[in-house]
Amino acid sequence: MLKIIAKFTLGAVLAMSLSAPVALAAADGEARSKSGWPNPTRSVKPGEKVCKYKFSDGERTVWICDKAAPCCEWEAIGNYVKCGTTVTGCL
């Protein structure tokens, strides 16, 4: 019985950790538009870059990442964008 409860709890925590970034967090400086390329919601600081991506539905998204970090997008999970890391890339 304890193993079943532990598996259920672990599964619930994992599901929440995968869905929470999509629902709760936006990428730094993220802005979206269907009519043209928007400006980021904050200015770019030294050592940062503006990332741009156009999704298949025509939505254009911009966000700000460190220059060393890759710009990551996942259309499959709700047009989610974020900055990756130099170690793991876009994982």
pLDDT of 63: 97
Nearest Cα neighbor of 53 from 37, 77, 69, 76 is 37
Instruction: Estimate the share of the chain in helix, then strand, then coil, as percent rounded to the nearest 5.
Output: 30, 30, 40
Q: What is the pLDDT of residue 91?
A: 86
Render the burial of 35-52: b for 16+ CB within 10 Å, e for the rest: eeeeebeeeeeeebeebe
DSSP-assigned letter for residue 69: S
Query: Per-residue pLDDT tens for 2-45?
Result: 566 555 555 554 454 444 444 446 889 999 999 999 999 999 99
What integer pLDDT is reported at residue 10 of this predicted model?
52
Average pLDDT over residues 43-53: 96
Average pLDDT over residues 47-67: 96
Mean pLDDT for the chain? Answer: 82
Q: What does the domain layout of the chain look like in residue ranges?
A: 26-83
Between 4 and 73, the more confident residue is: 73
Give me the pLDDT at residue 26, please. Answer: 82
